[in-house]
Amino acid sequence: MAAKILLLALLALVSSQAIASDPSQLQDFCVADQNSQVFVNGLVCINPNLAKAEDFFFQGLDKPGNTMNKNGFNATLVTAMQIPGLNTLGISLARLDFAPYGLNPPHTHPRATELLTVIEGTLYVGFVASDNKLFTKVLNKGDVFVFPENLIHFQFNPSNANAVAISGLSSQNPGLITIANAVFGSNPPISDDILAKAFQLDKKTVDWLQTQF
């Protein structure tokens, strides 16, 4: 009897793990219907007989993004919203442009691992593991670095020349949480009492930081 109970428990565990994984494709593709008002986990498919080559095509990654902002950084995204044929395929792409000393601030992608390749210039990159250990590297043209899913990471251009990178992401919708924006720019704002205690700051400093976001 005990052996049967153990067997059933193991089967339940295996089943729960299988259910928790991403489903496999049930068709060749699922081109997104970007005009659908139906909400699902992803995007609704159009009739596959209506799909065309343009649904799997995007052009423009040869064009630099606008880095005239306070961070000197721009990301040009290629997700299922730009290429409808990416829907359900679990992948997306971004071109990252850095002005001299430009910064992609500490952030996370809650649904994706990121694989970054430097195309031009130099980048100082890093991520923080769950035990607060920092992993950093200086990357040059042709170098590749991986940022594990949902870990806080950043990229910084330490030189006086522009830098360009391409990032592959393991989700059609990786998401983006920029840490400073989320903490000091939430809507409605997090209580300054909470933030002052969490960051060991006085409330005036917290209030000033909240006005910056």
- Can you give the pLDDT at residue 39? 84
Tens-digit pLDDT profile for residues 88-118? 999 999 999 999 999 999 999 999 999 999 9
Confidence of residue 85 (pLDDT cuts 50, 70, 90): very high
- Can you give the pLDDT at residue 27? 86
Three-state secondary structure along the chain? CHHHHHHHHHHHHHHHHHHHCCCCCCCCCCCECCCCCCCECECCECCHHHCCHHHHCCCCCCCCCCCCCCCCEEEEEECCCCCHHHCCCCCEEEEEEECCCCEEEEEECCCCCEEEEEEECCEEEEEECCCCCEEEEEECCCCEEEECCCCEEEEECCCCCCEEEEEEECCCCCCCEEHHHHHHCCCCCCCHHHHHHHHCCCHHHHHHHHHCC
Q: Which residue has the higher pLDDT, 179 or 2?
A: 179
What domains sit in the chain, N to C, each tagged with a CATH number? 68-175 (2.60.120.10), 176-213 (no CATH)
